[in-house]
Structure 1
Amino acid sequence: MKKKVLLRGLFGITLGITISYLITIITSLIYGQGYYSPCVPQFIDYVGSEIGAVILQTVFSGLLGSVFAMASIVWEIEHWSIVKQTGIYFVCTSLVMFPIAYITGWMEHTVMGCLIYFGIFVVIFVVMWLIQYFIWKQKIERINKNIHKS
């Protein structure tokens, strides 16, 4: 299991960086007025240089991807309830996501900004969880139908 977690973590690094890069492209298309904006301006100011901010954001994005990927191992622990799996996955991912989002300026540094970011995170988490739940439910129903036909 440790090997599987480490391999997922390595894969997650590249996935996290890729997703982060795509997000910067999308946000630049929407808000950049024709310019590419790799980081939040406040983060660049905080770090002291654009290249430093980009490097640090890339490291953080790789860390996020790694944690999300490694934490996914909880879905394979069959003796845990779905509630326990979901809770542990949520806690693991949010404990890494929120400090990084705060440091990088992905959220406003106000109580309301943190609450809004948390709310968005929860909504995305619930939507993704529901999509996965219904996909697996359909797969299981198909398997059960095939078993009963045999």
Structure 2
Amino acid sequence: MVGIALLLNFQGKYSDAKSTFFASLIALFVGAATVIYNIDHWSLTKQSAIHFLIMLITVYPILLLSGWFTIVSVFDALKIFLFFVLVGAILWLVLFTLAKVFSW
């Protein structure tokens, strides 16, 4: 995705390049943090809490810096945080359900 962002940048599509770059950073951190769920001696609660903390210190700041949201006040950052938590919870529930349905 970084390569796509570079191509977009060279084509003068700076906004698209910036968005693609930030999306690639989010994908990188989310993908890298999934290894936490392979630590079998940790409970699902601990795995989920550690994953949330990693997302909080990586993905949340990216959302704030990406320019995808208007940030004028601390209240705006709080709204973005609530969006971050809501989307994360929905994704966690969907993936948890799929893992239970398709586990052998």
Tell me the alpha carbon deviations over residues 60-92 of structure 1, each in whole angstroms, 9 at most, x when there is no partner. 222211110010111111111111111111111
1:133 to 71, 77, 96: 96
| Residues 17 and 58, structure 1, Cα contact 8 Å, conserved in 2 | no
1:1-40 → structure 2 map (5 Å cutoff): 14=1
Amino acid across the alignment from 1:92: I
Larger Rg: 1
SS at match of 1:114: helix
Q: Which has the higher contact order (CA 8 A, sep 6+)?
A: 1
Extract unaligned runs of 5+ from structure 1: 1-13, 19-48, 144-150
1:102 to 64, 70, 80: 64
TM-score normalized with structure 2 length: 0.74
1:57, distance to aligned residue in structure 2 (A): 3.4
TM-score normalized with structure 1 length: 0.54
1:94, distance to aligned residue in structure 2 (A): 2.2
Compute the RMSD of aligned alpha carbons.
Answer: 2.7
Structure 1 segments of 4+ aligned residues over 4 angstroms from their partners = none
Extract unaligned runs of 5+ from structure 2: 5-11
Identical aligned pairs, as a percentage?
A: 25
